[in-house]
């Protein structure tokens, strides 16, 4: 150990940093066979490691399941679908790199991927440059309209705003004050900016809200929950928390929140990124009543949903997938919808060319497991979806508190931002 000095330490950390930054073993990351004739390739950009692994990882399997389903019916345009899976390791720049590789080397017909907006933003220039197609299955902050990205889930106007409206209304809790708590990146900041604009337009004074951010992967929420309590006890109307933290921060926050004895009836939490999978491993009894909003909830009543749930359970069993067969979250359904939308468009265009496929999007409609009919128009690459507001129940799931009558037309750019 006599050789250990500051210099060697610096060298060591330098090498380690370089190792972390450059994707060692890059070729192994993209697991795919050579493009055989008679197949068409789709690429998945979902992390199986890092902070997003638990929720993003399952989307790979859903894409595969959807592809299998289409293949069983004879494939698309006479070709069978082959799915290439990657692991961008929750490392945002790596999404761009892996995406580029898939588009240029593997010649995938379309990409399905990204959870966080920051990863989508990093892939955006790549798909635009290569003129590829990325299906993005998450609800997000909007304010973006690329011809190379298909926004399969809802922008704020048809997800966050109806939920906030509900909470502010008579039927909800007549919320008057808002504590915004988010992870420190583009999605929470943009959502909160739009929300502030929306509240301003309703004449709510600036003193009625507060905004806090934490680093990604943050887990020590003690002080923040104290602040929320202080905020709530100040009086001046019913307070709510608009929670935009992501990944493992969600269960850590909820646990601390419940431990400090705050109930949903005192201060309800609207978790914008909160899904069933985040509640795994939590005792949800003290959390009953907290809310989320998505374009699909597992309890949605429809024939298509029953079929989908059964299909997933069977797939998990047959393929020994390392995720629960009885938990289905919105992004899974959205990823499933994505593959079908793509296949329908490709069949309609009778081509896999991105330009042709994109033209075919106009007028597509698909029976989503949520029970709503998805629709696309020639206007943009947005998909109209239904709106659900869910409420946490004792069984680590969500009950449907409210749902929209039909699928509202998506509004890409928020007038409040």
Q: Please report, as residue ranges, which positions from 285 to 304 form the binding site for other proteins (by CB under 8 A).
A: 286, 288-289, 291
Three-class SS string for 48-77? CCCCCHHHHHHHHHHHHHHHHHHHHCCCEC
Q: Which of residues 304-343 bind other proteins (CB under 8 A)?
A: 322-324
C-beta closer to other proteins: residue 39 or 393:
393
Contact call for residue 362 and other proteins (CB under 8 A): no
Quick one: which of 28, 37, 261, 405 contacts other proteins (CB under 8 A)? 261
Spatial separation of the C-alpha atoms in residues 393 and 61, rounded to whole Å: 27
Quick one: which of 214, 333, 344, 368 contacts other proteins (CB under 8 A)? 214
Quick one: which of 6, 34, 73, 405 contacts other proteins (CB under 8 A)? 6
Half-sphere exposure of 258 (CA within 13 A, CB side): 16
C-beta closer to other proteins: residue 314 or 394:
394
Tokens 């692991």 belong to residue: 87
Nearest CA to 139 out of 162, 112, 170, 160 is that of 160
Backbone torsions φ then ψ of 281, nearest 5 degrees? 85, 0
C-beta closer to other proteins: residue 144 or 212:
212
Cα–Cα distances in Å, from 14 out to 11, 26, 128?
Answer: 5, 20, 34
C-beta closer to other proteins: residue 394 or 406:
394
Stretch that binds other proteins, among 37-45, 247-255, 358-366, 377-385 (CB under 8 A): 247-255
C-beta closer to other proteins: residue 57 or 99:
57
Two tokens, residue 322: 């390392």
CB of 260 to other proteins, least distance (A): 5
Contact call for residue 119 and other proteins (CB under 8 A): no
Quick one: which of 104, 233, 314, 353 contacts other proteins (CB under 8 A)? 233
Reduced to 3 states (helix: H, G, I; strand: E, B; else coil), residue 342 is: helix
Q: Which of residues 36-95 bind other proteins (CB under 8 A)?
A: 48-51, 53-54, 57
DSSP state string for 260-299: TT--TTTS-EEETT--HHHHTTS--GGGTT-EEEES--TT
Stretch that binds other proteins, among 110-118, 119-127, 170-178, 301-309 (CB under 8 A): 170-178
CB of 264 to other proteins, least distance (A): 6
Spatial separation of the C-alpha atoms in residues 290 and 295, rounded to whole Å: 17
CB of 390 to other proteins, least distance (A): 12
Assess contact for 293 and 403: CB atoms under 8 A.
Answer: no
C-beta closer to other proteins: residue 1 or 72:
1
C-beta closer to other proteins: residue 254 or 374:
254
413 burial type by CB count under 10 A (0-12 exposed, 13-18 middle, 19+ buried):
exposed
DSSP E strands: which ranges in 86-171?
A: 110-113, 134-136, 149-151
Contact call for residue 391 and other proteins (CB under 8 A): yes
CB of 125 to other proteins, least distance (A): 26
Contact call for residue 227 and other proteins (CB under 8 A): yes
Quick one: which of 121, 147, 193, 263 contacts other proteins (CB under 8 A)? 263
Q: Which of residues 11-30 bind other proteins (CB under 8 A)?
A: 11-12, 15-16, 19
Quick one: which of 165, 212, 356, 367 contacts other proteins (CB under 8 A)? 212
Rounded to a whole number of angstroms, the distance between the first and last alpha carbons of the chain is 58
Contact call for residue 226 and other proteins (CB under 8 A): yes
Contacts of 27 (CB under 8 A, 6+ apart): none
CA dihedral 352, 353, 356, 362 (to 10 degrees): 60
């Amino acid at each position: 150990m006599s050789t250990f000095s500051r210099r060697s330490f610096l060298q060591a950390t330098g090498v380690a940093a370089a190792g972390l930054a450059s994707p060692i073993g890059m070729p192994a990351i993209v697991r795919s066979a050579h493009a055989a004739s008679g197949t068409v390739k789709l690429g998945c950009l979902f992390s199986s490691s890092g902070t997003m692994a638990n929720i993003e990882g399952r989307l790979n399997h859903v894409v595969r399941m959807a592809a299998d389903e289409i293949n069983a019916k004879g494939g698309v345009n006479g070709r069978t679908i082959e799915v290439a899976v990657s692991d961008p390791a929750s490392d945002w720049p790596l999404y761009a790199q892996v995406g580029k590789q898939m588009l240029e080397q593997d010649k995938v017909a379309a990409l399905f991927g990204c959870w966080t907006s920051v990863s989508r933003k990093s892939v955006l220039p790549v798909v635009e440059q290569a003129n590829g197609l990325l299906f993005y299955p998450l609800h997000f902050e909007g304010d973006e309209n690329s011809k190379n990205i298909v926004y399969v889930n809802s922008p704020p106007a048809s997800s966050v705003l109806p939920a906030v409206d509900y909470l502010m209304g008579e039927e909800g809790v007549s919320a008057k004050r808002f504590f915004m708590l988010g992870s420190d990146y583009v999605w929470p900041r943009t959502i909160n900016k739009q929300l502030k604009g929306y509240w301003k337009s309703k004449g709510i004074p600036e003193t009625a809200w507060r905004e806090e951010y934490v680093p990604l992967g943050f887990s020590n929420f003690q002080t923040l929950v104290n602040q929320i309590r202080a905020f709530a006890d100040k009086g001046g109307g019913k307070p709510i928390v608009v929670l935009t933290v992501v990944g493992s921060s969600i269960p850590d926050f909820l646990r601390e929140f419940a431990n400090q004895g705050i109930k949903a009836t005192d201060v309800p939490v609207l978790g914008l990124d909160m899904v069933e999978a985040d509640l795994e491993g939590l005792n949800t009894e003290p959390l009953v009543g907290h809310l989320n909003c998505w374009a699909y909830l597992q309890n949605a009543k429809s024939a298509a949903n029953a079929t989908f749930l059964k299909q997933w359970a069977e797939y998990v069993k047959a393929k020994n997938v390392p995720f629960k067969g009885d938990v289905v979250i919105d992004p899974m359904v959205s990823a499933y919808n994505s593959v079908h939308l793509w296949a329908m468009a490709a069949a309609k265009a009778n081509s896999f060319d991105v330009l042709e496929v994109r033209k075919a999007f106009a007028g597509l409609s698909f029976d989503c497991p949520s029970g709503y009919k998805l629709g696309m128009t020639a206007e943009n690459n947005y998909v109209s979806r239904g709106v659900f507001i869910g409420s946490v129940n004792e069984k680590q799931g969500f009950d449907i508190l409210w749902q929209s009558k039909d699928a509202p037309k998506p509004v890409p750019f928020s007038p409040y931002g």
